[in-house]
Structure 1
Amino acid sequence: MQILPSASLAPYIKSYTVVTIDNDLRDEVFYPSGYIDLIINISGGAAATIINGKRKDTPDIELLGHLTLPTRLTVAQGTSVLIARIYPYAGTLFFSDPLSEFTNYATDMYDVAKSGSTDLYDRIMFADSLYKKINILEAYFLQQLKKNENRVKKAIMVQALSQQFLMNHHTLDLPALAQASGLSERYIQKLYLTNVGISPSAFAAVIRFNKSLQMVLNTPESLTTIAYDCGYYDQAHFIKEFKKFTGITPSVSRQSLIKNDMDLQQAVNIGF
């Protein structure tokens, strides 16, 4: 189930999604999305994230930063989570630390802001309907947005820069981007590391990967066709990059989606 944010938060938050796992999942591949996810366990069920081979049990509230490493999920049957999917440029508006602190890590929000996170979780769990839970979460986001309103200008700047290379077939020419924007390459690098959590080139690679992922999962196109359509040098380059993000090849990903339950994949896959 997916719910859109209020008009005030729509520029910064893509959606709220509730996912309930019907069957135990073990080592399910979790694809890098290009988004930041605030994940709230609203069922008390058990789950764990395995990033680059390191397992971390899912806490009450977890911030999943940008992923550029192989990641897997293990989730017990009956677990329900509420996911707030935050646009890649907007995370800095809601969380105080530089976004690079959260990259390739599932962060327990109690370790970041214990009292505020505990209060938020308690109020969400006390609410007796999904819409009330989301209203509480929206109030929290609006409070954080007001607190960090001085960061909005830079967030919008990163959004505009990203749109430029998104329109350029998901490839990045940093010198050209710097010239067109009137900003130095060094400043653009700093903007991305602080506001997105990864470099411009890493972000472009994640976006290109997601374009290829959608084609792998939703079309019968050959890997060679997908590689060229998504701007990779050749099929070998595409397979290498895909495996770097997921730990598996595109063909294995396509086969596993056919075999496995699709609800979780639909929740974590993306579209810009």
Structure 2
Amino acid sequence: MDFTRIKPHPDLDEFIECYWMMYSNESVPIVEKIIPDGFTEIIFNYRDVYKSKTSGDWNLQSPNLMAGQLKTFFYLQNTGTTGSVAVKLKPAALTQLFGFSMDQYVDKIVDLDSLSNSKLKQLKERLLAYLNNVSSIKEHFVKSILDDYFALLIQNASKNPLKEPLELIFSSHGLVTVAEMVAIAGVGERQLERLFKKYIGLSPKYYARIIRFNYIFKLIKSKKDSWAEIVYQSGYYDQSHFIQNFKAFTGEDPSSYFFEKINMANFFLNK
């Protein structure tokens, strides 16, 4: 599998984390695990679709998808060859740009066409007009199409009332209390909860927990620290608490997780 991350235009920093692409001519089914990373996505599969499994049976996905916030891991499996282009959005961007109430999409990956959103329809038409009509997808064309589309869209974006609390979560690597978020937001705790429910889909505490979990991957990627130091730096009380949280998000013990393996989970988490 070939993975590519594309940096958007700097003017889009408030709304877009990155664009990404996946490509593979391998059609043998491979199961991939997807782990929460704190971002939402709009995904376009221009080759064969994927199957997903959260619990129980496998379900065939639609070609064009919107993914809300994840609370835990799930599985994907290809049904043939892979060709995907996606937009990874900042935590509140789907509400700011498209007006979604994100609590409706927690742990959900929905068919884009089922949303009846004219702005998303325009995005799909513009991107697929390129993806479905060329023999070789070029990064700079994908970037140009997406940059141009979002540059127009952000002109009418709503204000993000969670800008300061989210910046605090990321700058502290999730090591922040709800009281600290309340103070910097200038609203009461119940109002902060309501805003997180609408714009993120998760509670402030749970979202900070995901970002703290993500920080583990950054620490491990640096290869400078021992497990004991990683446990301490990522803000866990002790090693058992660290292992418990790691298993909750990945289904695996950290000592047995393959951090260097080339797969979807590590591509998304190893920024």
Q: 2:124 aligns with which of 121, 126, 149?
A: 121
C-alpha RMSD over aligned residues: 2.7
Q: 1:169 to 1:115 in 2, by over 3 A?
A: closer
Determine whether 1:35 maps to 2:36.
no
- Spell out, residue by residue over 1:229-270, the C-alpha distance to the aligned partner (whole angstroms, 9 max, x if none): 10011111111111111212212223xx55x5x153453225
Identity of aligned residues (%): 22
Q: Could you state the TM-score of these two structures normalised by the residue count of structure 2? A: 0.83
Deviation of residue 123 (structure 1)? 3.7
Taking the TM superposition and a 5 Å limit, the aligned residue runs for 1:211-230 are 211-216=215-220, 219=223, 221-230=225-234
Contact 1:94-1:141 at 8 Å conserved across structures: no
Matched, 1:141 2:155: no
User: Do the aligned partners of 1:36 and 1:64 also contact (CA within 8 Å) in 2?
Assistant: yes
Aligned twin of 1:75: 78
SS for the counterpart of 1:72 is strand
**Number of residue pairs aligned between Structure 1 and Structure 2:** 261
Distance 1:2 1:123, change over 3 A: same
User: Which amino acid letter does the alignment assign opposite residue 154 of structure 2?
Assistant: L
Q: Which runs of 5+ in 2 are unaligned?
A: none
| Structure 1 runs not aligned, ≥5 long | none
In structure 1, the residue matched to 2:59 is 56
How do 1:1-272 residues align onto structure 2 when only pairs under 5 Å count?
Answer: 1-21=4-24, 23=26, 24=28, 26-42=30-46, 44-53=47-56, 55-76=58-79, 78-113=81-116, 117=120, 120-127=123-130, 128=134, 129-130=137-138, 131-147=140-156, 149=157, 151-152=158-159, 155=160, 157-216=161-220, 219=223, 221-254=225-258, 257-258=259-260, 260=261, 262=262, 264-271=264-271
TM-score (normalised: structure 1): 0.83
- Structure 1 residues 206-239: Cα deviation after superposition (integer angstroms, max 9, x where no partner): 0010011333466374433322110011111111
Paired letter, 1:200:
P
Q: Distance in 2 between matches of 1:144 and 1:190?
A: 25
Q: What is the CA–CA distance in structure 2 between the aligned matches of 1:51 and 1:172, rounded to whole Å?
A: 30
Displacement of 1:136: 3.8
